[in-house]
Amino acid sequence: MTAYPMNPARRRFTWRFVPLMIGYSVLMVFSTGTIASQHPAGSTLAMLALLPAIPLVATIAVLGLYLVEETDEFVRHRHVVAMIWAVGAVLAVATVWGFLRTAGAVDEPPVYLAYPFWCVCYALAQGGQIVADRLAVRP
Amino acid sequence: MNNRLKVLRAERSWSQGDLAEALEVSRQSVNAIETGRYDPSLPLAFKIAELFGLAIEDVFVSPSKEA
């Protein structure tokens, strides 16, 4: 999101995204700490385990909202393309991992890392777009 | 899609930033359209043409008519 100058949609995205990530960090510490010290079971354990996922899932909605609100069609197009590259990377890794897992060559995949992995791929795809721009031959 | 954006801009002594501001888009958007790396939507193409007081076909070159 930093590759382009701020506009109202990007500003709103930041104001929504940052508090959610702070909330995620706080809930993550609270959840893991409570589970480790209190050893809860049943629905309490499930609730504590799910707590950090709530703000994280909300960031996905915030990303979607950003795409809806972005008025610069070129910027929106670039983000969508980068997101599709990231989805492709996650699906490719999941597919390869699945076959390796079926053969017993690797452990169960840490599925909770799918979204962070997607975010890394999304950022890399945006970086790739910037590099491609700089390498592009201008007419 | 080829276009005459750079020429039209130069005739008016507008920078990419000036044009971007008038179109309410980023400078990167103007650059991408100008260099043919991004084809604008019909509404944005109309907005560009109207800004220059021209018809769309006077700004953008139809792919079927490109040499």
Asked if A75 lies within 8 A of B28 by C-beta distance, the reply is yes
Domain boundaries, chain A: 1-71, 72-139
Q: What is the DSSP letter of A104?
A: T
pLDDT for the residue A5: 76
Put simply, whether A104 touches B (Cβ < 8 Å) is: no
Residue-wise pLDDT tens digits, A3-21: 677 889 999 999 999 999 9
Closest alpha carbon within chain B to A74 = B29
Residue A55 to residue A12: CA distance in whole angstroms: 16
Q: Would you say domain B5-62 falls under CATH 2.30.31.70? A: no
Residue B19 structure tokens: 């044009």
**Whole-model pTM?**
0.88
Domain boundaries, chain B: 5-62
Residue-wise pLDDT tens digits, A70-95: 999 999 999 999 999 999 999 999 99
